[in-house]
Chain A
Amino acid sequence: MHKKIMYICVVMSNSKLYKGSLNTIILKLLNEQDKMYGYEITQKVKELTKGELKITEGALYPALHKLEAQGLLDVEVAKVDNRLRKYYKLTENGTKETANKLEELAEYIKTMQTLVNPKLA
């Protein structure tokens, strides 16, 4: 129940289709940047999707902590503007998992396209 509520607030966008892709989004962003902190990830997603997708902290941080617990992310702490900031970066396993997840997502999109719009597929 708790998980369900959490996922509903994954995105402020009206679509729930993004909910299963949150980990892939995080991994992909971290694959492109050396390291990122939580708020930076939310802002980057907002910027890249022109505001269509807004990740809330209620969804982002549990996902980050889970990925860290799975050994896919490593953490670095730095002092920035009078406070401590936790940066996340991919581990070696994380980099491999990103490639797998992106491949899975590409397959999923292809399959969906075949179903929804066969002409384009």
Chain B
Amino acid sequence: MKLTKENIKFIDTYLENSNIIHIDIRMEMLDHIASVIETKMENGDKRDFYFVFKDYMVDNKQSLLNNNKSFIKATDRRLTKSIFHELFNLPCVFTFLGLYILFQNVNKIIDINNFRSWLGALPLIGFVIFGIYYYIKVKRSNLRRFSALERLGLIYAMLFNLFHLCWNVAGLKSTISSFVLYVMTSFALTLLVAMTIVSKRMIYEFQNRFKSLA
């Protein structure tokens, strides 16, 4: 016996209210629960859908919530790994070297003391641009509640704050040598390139995976 659209909607709402917010994990849990209930009903459980569902949730809700946590952890691992790998690919290696050489050469023309303050602020400007790009892209694609995309946003926010902290609180702008400043700035901008590539790939992956089902 197959569950009705209303039954499916009921399970979906229940899971959403249980703080399983990401569509990709919720749909898998929903399918699992629905499959278990259908099997039970096919095997002779004559009770109404609601009672079979309730009994299942009493026994398994905690385990489902743990699944949610482990899924998010796996997603974070996957994203971090992707960004790290991307840093060693040609586009990022060239970006890093190109920026470093550019900063060195510009330094020959412009006095370092005038140059220093805006150079250090470049990663922050870059992060803001990336944030705007990311928000528009995800919103346009209507993919807001997919785990990998939301977690990427979180990684972005964490890095933004880290740079902000290093730059302003630690007072790096006045104390570090120009070599460290160039390396840091080049790396921060390269990291942004890596994140942009990874986010583009993720958006493409989710669009592809779900486009035929919209």
- Which A residues are closer than 8 A to B by beta carbons? 2, 6, 9, 37-39, 43, 56-58, 61-62, 65-66, 68-69, 75-86
Contacts and interface: CB of A to CB of B under 8 A. Distances in A.
21 contacts: A39-B32, A39-B35, A39-B36, A43-B39, A57-B32, A58-B60, A58-B64, A58-B66, A62-B67, A62-B74, A69-B75, A76-B209, A77-B209, A77-B210, A81-B38, A82-B4, A83-B8, A83-B31, A84-B30, A84-B31, A86-B24
A61 B209 CA distance: 19
Given A65-B74, A69-B75, A85 B31 contact: yes
Interface of B: 2-5, 8, 24, 27-32, 34-36, 38-39, 60, 63-64, 66-67, 69-71, 74-75, 77-78, 81, 209-210, 213
A106 to B, nearest CB: 28
**Chain B facing A: main interface SS:** helix
Given A58-B63, A69-B75, A77-B210, 8 more contacts: A2-B66, A2-B69, A39-B32, A43-B39, A57-B64, A82-B2, A82-B4, A83-B31
Residue among B8, B28, B60, B77 with max Cβ neighbours from chain A (10 Å)? B28
B4 A83 contact: no
A84 B70 contact: no
The 4 lowest CB-CB distance pairs between A and B, nearest first, are: A58-B63, A62-B70, A39-B35, A65-B74
A83 B34 contact: yes
Contacts of B39: 43
A104 B57 CA distance: 38
A58 B38 CA distance: 20
Nearest to B76: A69
A85 B26 CA distance: 11
B32 A38 contact: yes
